[in-house]
Structure 1
């Protein structure tokens, strides 16, 4: 017998993560490695997706990742995530990364990303996720924008399939 899936608000999925940046997280210039920032973004995004789905979630894609400003050794990195929109088994999650200037009580935007997560059972079988209820004007805009990004991703996926089919076993970069 399948469980009834109830829609959930954006607020129910909100997740936050904080990190202090240490020298081992940084390159020779003292800036946070881009890959490490991507890891943090993926982790906080997965938390939001799991909260929304109340299930295990796996990353399907990360797109539109913007590195706006560097994150430096000693910075306090704050990452916030929430589900923008849910489909049948997948969800788009938006993540915003900020650096907190604790002395002056200011936040500086350093990165944003959109990720797609899929809810699964322990055996990897996809499961249906609740729909999202956007409540504020900002959440409604993000909901609509997520639909447009999904259409663009679908077009890009189809284009890549066609290219792979045309190339066969050839590798082109």
Structure 2
């Protein structure tokens, strides 16, 4: 019988909301993407640390698509949950919505996936609790994380290998906005 611990996804969910101020805006009057990235990193850290009970560091960020701009004066809400757990790492999914507080209109602005690694006080990676999933959405999120990990590894194996030959891919680039001068 294993003494490995497990936690429910619901035990480590975190939600934060923040009013967007003029100081968060870029030159076009929209909220600066870098500011949103900073908030995303903070909530991913909090979520992963809550799950693992350890200090966590960001190992990678996957799929940061800014779908809709966020306006000054809107309320931004970020919801984070652990979607996947490996041995020492966790994938935290974060959904970002903005709300016009006058009209109540809500927009989905971003979904991002942060891979976080748990560390002890000496900076060594430590084992994290397993994940208990108990609805179809949680199972789907876990499986999607596995697929993203597999695709990333396949892409690295294909393009980062010592025997990579760019000439084998030249034909693949014909319909793209690129000029090859090898």
TM band (smaller chain): 0.7 to 0.9
RMSD between aligned residues: 2.1
Deviation at 1:104, TM superposition (A): 3.8
- Superimposed CA distance per residue, residues 78-104 of structure 1 (whole angstroms, 9 cap, x where no aligned partner): 011000010000001100000123334
Q: What is the SS of the residue equivalent to 1:138?
A: helix
Structure 1: 5+ residue stretches without partners: 167-173
Does residue 152 (structure 1) correspond to residue 151 (structure 2)? The answer is yes
**Contact conserved, 2:74 with 2:101, CA < 8 A, in 1?**
no
Q: What is the SS of the residue equivalent to 1:92?
A: strand
Q: What is the SS of the residue equivalent to 1:65?
A: coil
- Superimposed CA distance per residue, residues 15-47 of structure 1 (whole angstroms, 9 cap, x where no aligned partner): 111111111111111111111111111111111
**Contact conserved, 1:5 with 1:128, CA < 8 A, in 2?**
no
Alpha carbons of structure 1 residues 157 and 57: separation in structure 2 relative to 1, 3 Å: farther
TM-score by length of 1: 0.87
Q: How many pairs does the alignment contain?
A: 164
Larger Rg: 2
Match runs of 1:131-142 below 5 Å: 131-142=130-141
Alpha carbons of structure 1 residues 136 and 128: separation in structure 2 relative to 1, 3 Å: same
TM-score by length of 2: 0.83
